[in-house]
Amino acid sequence: MDKPVSYLQKHGGITKGRVERFLTNGQWEKVNLNASLYEAQVSGKPNIELEAWSAPEQERPTFEHAVKQSFAPIETGHTFGPSWSSHWVRATLQVPVEFEGKEVRFHFDPSCEALVWSAEGEPLQGITGGGGNTKHIDFILTSKADAAEPKRVLYLEVACNGMFGNGEGSLIKPPQENRKFALAKAELVVLNAEAWSLRHDFEVILAMAKHLPQNSARAWQALATANEIVNIYKVGDQKSISDAHAVSAKFLAAKGGDANHQVYAIGNCHIDTAWLWPYDETKRKIARSWATQIDYMERYPEYLFAASQAQQFEWLQTLYPSLFKRVQEKAKTGQFIPIGGTWIEMDCNIPSGESLARQFLLGQRYFEANFGQRSKVFWLPDTFGYSSQLPQIVQRSGAKYFFTQKLSWNNINKFPHTTFNWIGLDGSSVLTHMAPANTYT
Known catalytic residues? 382
Number of Cβ atoms within 10 Å of the Cβ of 84: 20
The answer to whether the CB of 402 falls within 8 A of the CB of 389 is no
Give how far Cα 108 sits from Cα of 112, 272, 414, Å.
10, 26, 44
What are the φ/ψ torsions at residue 358 (nearest 5 degrees)? -70, -30
- 87 bridge partner residues: 54, 158
CA distance 238 to 413: 53
CA distance 158 to 37: 27
Kindly compute the dihedral angle of the four CA atoms of residues 179, 116, 64, 121, in this order, to the nearest 10 degrees.
-170
CA distance 340 to 382: 12
Q: For residue 136, give the DSSP letter.
A: B
What are the φ/ψ torsions at residue 432 (nearest 5 degrees)? -125, 140
Give how far Cα 363 sits from Cα of 344, 350, 366, 387, Å.
8, 19, 5, 18
- 188 bridge partner residues: 42, 106
Single-letter code of the amino acid located at 421: N
Among candidate residues 162, 104, 160, 154, the one with its CA nearest the CA of residue 136: 162
